């Protein structure tokens, strides 16, 4: 069976792209990143893609007055890459409903919170301000409303007493780097089925019991 073609959209650092590329080296991985597209020419993720011999494109959002025009130009480049799956990995633009509809059921996003908590920006800062004990990340299908699509997978991390935004972000990012490649791999292997808002992952193992934080010492 041919490998599924993955097009990654990104805006900056590209560490999730790097994690995906590392995972896709496994012989059993059913997908290959074939194209990386950024909305900013200076995005570091473009350099990561080039280092791996992957085609890159830039569609600069600042060159378009209207969001619809940017999305139409972006869709043309995405379509030319002939993806089976589009992955938003740190892509920091809100996409129009028309763009999202075009890739319905074959576009995934990684978001740095346990959705539906903390959609949008500054998730780690907001989690700290609220004093939550568990934070984390989510991989979900993209739907027209931002950060609310069907959830494929989530990873929870504890919020530690000494945390600041940077330490918490780093703990979450380490989980993003595992969760996104895993979810993309399941998609490429045909193991993901959508049932309304609920996603089933074939042959997924689920933890028993609860995740507790803090975990009290025995008395």
Q: Work out whether 14 is an interface residue with ligand GRF (CB under 6 A).
A: yes
Q: Which residues contact 166 (CB under 8 A, 6 or more apart)?
A: none
Residues 115-154 that bind ligand GRF (CB under 6 A): none
Distance of alpha carbon 149 from alpha carbon 63, whole angstroms: 29
Is 36 in contact with 45 (CB distance < 8 Å)? yes
Closer of 72 and 93 to ligand GRF (Cβ): 93
Active site residue 111: yes
10 vs 78 by CB, closer to ligand GRF:
10
Residue of 111, 124, 135, 177 with catalytic role: 111
Q: What does the alpha-carbon distance between residue 158 and residue 177 come to, in Å, rounded to a whole number?
A: 17
**H-helix or E-strand spanning residue 198:** strand 198-201
Q: Is 25 helix (H, G, I), strand (E, B) or coil?
A: coil
Cβ of residue 13: shortest distance to ligand GRF, in angstroms? 3
The single residue among 23, 24, 37, 90 that binds ligand GRF, judged by CB under 6 A, is 90
Beta-strand pair 134-141/151-158: antiparallel
Q: Which part of the chain contacts ligand GRF (CB under 6 A), choosing from 69-77, 107-115, 146-154, 157-165?
A: 107-115
Which chain residues interact with ligand GRF by CB under 6 A?
10, 12-16, 45, 89-90, 110-112, 173, 176
Active site residues: 111
């Amino acid at each position: 069976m041919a490998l599924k073609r993955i097009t990654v959209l990104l805006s900056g650092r590209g560490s999730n792209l790097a994690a995906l590329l590392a995972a896709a080296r496994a012989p059993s991985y059913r997908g290959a990143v074939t194209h990386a597209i950024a909305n900013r020419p200076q995005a570091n993720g473009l350099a990561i893609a080039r280092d791996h011999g992957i085609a890159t494109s830039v569609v600069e959002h600042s060159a378009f007055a209207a969001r619809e025009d940017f999305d139409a130009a972006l869709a043309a480049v995405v379509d030319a890459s002939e993806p089976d799956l589009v992955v938003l990995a740190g892509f920091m633009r809100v996409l129009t409903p028309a763009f999202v509809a075009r890739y319905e059921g074959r576009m995934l996003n990684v978001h740095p919170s346990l959705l539906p908590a903390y959609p949008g920006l500054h998730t780690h800062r907001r989690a700290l301000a609220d004093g939550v004990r568990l934070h984390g990340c989510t991989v979900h299908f993209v739907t027209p409303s931002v950060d609310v699509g069907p959830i494929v997978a989530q990873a929870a991390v504890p919020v530690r007493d000494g945390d600041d935004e940077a330490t918490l972000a780093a703990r979450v990012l380490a989980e993003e780097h595992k969760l996104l490649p895993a979810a993309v791999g399941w998609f490429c292997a045909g193991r993901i089925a959508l049932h309304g808002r609920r996603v089933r992952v074939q042959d997924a193992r689920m933890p028993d019991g609860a995740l507790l934080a803090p975990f009290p010492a025995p008395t």
